[in-house]
Amino acid sequence: MDVEGLDKRLSVLEQWRNMIDVSLGKHEVNSDYMKKEFSELKEELKEIKKTAKNLNLTIWGAVIVVFIKFALGGGLSSFI
């Protein structure tokens, strides 16, 4: 092979290597961004779950209070 052919081949290989480095860099940045986004999403879901649990406990507490009030007020005997 002549030197000129090797220079062209080396130039093409260097361009390919730079393209691969850029591609890997983009992938790494995207990966870090997605990890951050999923972490934030996970925290938000935990907060939603906590709120739903508190709401559920409040509703059940209200049902129990109403039932106790009904039972202490005479239950069904007041309707008869």
CA distance 63 to 56: 11
pLDDT tier at 1 (50, 70, 90 boundaries)? low
Q: How many domains is the chain partitioned into structurally?
A: 1
pTM over 0.75: no
pLDDT tier at 3 (50, 70, 90 boundaries)? confident
b/e code 46-77 from CB counts within 10 Å (16+ = b)? eeeeeeeeeeeeeeeeeeeeeeeeeeeeeeee
Q: What is the pLDDT of residues 5-30, one digit of tens each?
A: 888 888 988 999 999 988 888 888 88
Helix (H, G, I), strand (E, B) or coil at 2: coil
**Range of the structural domain that residue 57 is part of:** 3-79
CA distance 79 to 70: 11
